[in-house]
Amino acid sequence: MMSRLAAALIVAPSFAAAAEMDLASRIDRVTVYPDGAVITRLGRAELLQGASQIVLRGLPATIDPASIRVEGKGDGSFSIGAVDVRLTPGDAKPLDSVIEAKLKSLRDEKEVLDGQAGAIEAKRGTIERFAQTGPDKLGPDGKALPVADWPAIFDAIGTALVKVNAELRTVRGRAAEIESEIAALERARPQTGRPGAPKRDVAIAVEAPAPVAAEFTVSYRVAGANWTPLYEARLATGSAGAKPEINFMRRAELRQRSGEDWADVAVTLSTTRSAGGTRAPDLAPMQVMFFDPQEIYQARERAMEQANRQAKERAAAPAIARAPAPRGFAEDATQAPEGRVAQPATIAASTIEAGAYQASFQVPGRITVPQDGSSKAVLLSQSKVSPNLSARTTPELEEKAYLEAAFTHEDEAPLLPGEVFLHRDGGYIGKGRIGLVASGDKVELGFGADDKLKVTRAPVRRRENDPTWLGQSRTDLREFRTVVKSLHAQPVKVTVTERVPFSESSAITIETLPQTTPPTEKQVGDKRGIQAWTFDLAPATEKEIKLAYRIKWPGDRELTYRPQDIAEPRLMR
């Protein structure tokens, strides 16, 4: 009779002197989180009558011992006791016989070359000493040679030196090459007797009244593994009367350095942990306040402390995600579709399982992810959506309009923060970023500059007064004019954003003047002082936006302008 037994937490006394046997296992499935993974191994063992210990050896040292769970079943009854996790040193790295043989051959060749170089240097020294003897002593009996023979002597010495130097250069060049090869091999060879990375052994105490053929499921969490979302948005702007459409693809990029290869495993991706250039930049609200050097210094100190704290948090290892209980041993992994037909290939997307608090993606088939940190990309979903197109400009920062496409995210699974590769009418235009988007939320993507919208912004006037007597107020009046001109052949929806400084001091008053064009949004979101004008611009027409405001404050004080930080964007910016 088949039975399933949960792992116990206390070792029974009868397990004290139990015999040990190794548990051969393989990785069957992996659940990958944005900050870790849960590994599920399957193994079989023939249990002896009585108490014994089944040992799963050589697991990575990075596993979380508290996360280990053991389940078992067999063709007879047996009980599972305590689970003991032990840290063991890694095996000593064996010497590579191929590397050692190559090193010996290179060192022998290097020794021969060193001997040849010494002989050639001695030969060159002899030639040089001969050259120092004058022709007046090279004749018979030490007498002078005839002058007619001197050129032949000079040519012979020069030829000999050229030849010997060439031989020496060749030998030394080969010796240098061999030295480089030896150094590279010595860096690659394992150090003799040095142990590898430490491992963990998991000992499972079991007891059976009779011999049992048992099957075990062991799961554990590991660090050093993660998946990151990647997106691709291909926009067809709908030229020639067609409606605009976005082909939106959600991908995942897996990487792992857990210490063991994931070979031919079923993979599930979980969203349990949720954490410019292609569109118009955002304006930061600007606060007007009295100039106070001490306050500015303290604000800078607080900003630096916050930046340092955030940098430390980013550098710290993320916490391991909580994992669901492993599924039963008898469950089959998802298999790749079978059968071949003569038709264009389709891309296999993952199956989405959306829960109340998380979503998971079942990757089709079985895949292999090596432990070297190389990436493995899989397609999670693909859909086509009909976006609303518009243009947005922030003329104070950039006199340029950007094309935007907005649509509602209707999938059950949320979009996690990640990079999005943007294409417009078949051309790649850049890379943006998507923030966390829940089902039903709007996604706004920037698709680059709209060159058929001409934007100009110019100051109309600025007037400041200096106080002429004690206690007189000071004022600063500013007025700007923005013009947006359309070169499109069809109407375009345009949004212009501007800002007016704000103040939290009652001694500083800021008023918008009547010549200002009434905005359609007096405040954009929660950004104080940020206003927006949205309008439909007909072909070959232009729209003028005027902004004028006046600041008034006591004449004996100085003002400073401090842009406010913008919160992390919720949607792609």
Locate 399 and state its tokens. Answer: 């006199």
What pLDDT band is residue 137 in, cutting at 50, 70 and 90?
A: low
H-helix or E-strand spanning residue 175: helix 150-188
Residues of the chain with CATH 1.10.287: 97-188
Locate 365 and state its tokens. Answer: 């088939």
The pLDDT value recorded for residue 406 is 94
338, 340, 359: which is closest to 350 by C-alpha? 359
Q: Which amino acid is at 203?
A: A
97-188 has which fold? Helix Hairpins (1.10.287)
For residue 367, what are the β-bridge partners? 265
What pLDDT band is residue 199 in, cutting at 50, 70 and 90?
A: confident
What pLDDT band is residue 566 in, cutting at 50, 70 and 90?
A: low
**Positive or negative CA dihedral for 129, 135, 141, 142?**
negative
Whether the per-residue pLDDT at 433 is higher than 70: the answer is yes
Q: Which amino acid is at 232?
A: E
**Angle, CA of 150, 151 and 153, to the nearest 5°:** 65
> Over 388-427, what HEC string results?
EEEEEECCCCCCCEEEEEEEECCCCCCECCEEEEEEECCE
437, 434, 408, 407: which is closest to 422 by C-alpha? 434
Locate 120 and state its tokens. Answer: 């050639």
Q: What share of the chain is helix, strand, coil (3-state, %, to 5)?
A: 20, 45, 35
Cα-flanking dihedrals φ and ψ of residue 170, to 5°? -65, -45
Give pLDDT tens digits for 80-130: 988 888 888 766 556 667 778 888 888 888 889 888 888 888 888 888 777
Residues in the chain: 573
Cα-flanking dihedrals φ and ψ of residue 14, to 5°? -70, -10
SS3 366: coil
Number of neighbouring beta carbons within 10 Å of residue 392: 22
H-helix or E-strand spanning residue 555: none
Quote the radius of gyration of the chain (alpha carbons, Å). Answer: 39
Residues of 219-245 as b/e, b for ≥16 C-beta within 10 angstroms? bbbbbbbbbebbbbbbbbeeeeeeebb
Residue linked to tokens 């499972």: 204
Could you give the count of Cα atoms lying within 13 Å of 428 in the half-sphere of its Cβ?
5
77, 70, 175, 43: which is closest to 120 by C-alpha? 175
Q: Residues 543-567: what's their mean pLDDT?
A: 86
Locate 158 and state its tokens. Answer: 């020069």
Residue linked to tokens 């309008």: 535
Whether the per-residue pLDDT at 250 is higher than 70: the answer is yes
Give pLDDT tens digits for 7-25: 333 333 444 445 788 898 9
Q: Residues 548-564: what's their mean pLDDT?
A: 87
Q: pTM to 2 decimals? A: 0.58
Give pLDDT tens digits for 387-413: 999 999 999 999 999 999 999 998 888
Q: Which residue has the higher pLDDT, 1 or 63?
A: 63
Q: Residues 53-74: what's their mean pLDDT?
A: 89
The lowest-confidence range among 37-51, 218-232, 350-364 is: 350-364
The pLDDT value recorded for residue 571 is 40
The pLDDT value recorded for residue 147 is 66
Is residue 438 within 8 A of residue 409, CB to CB? The reply is yes
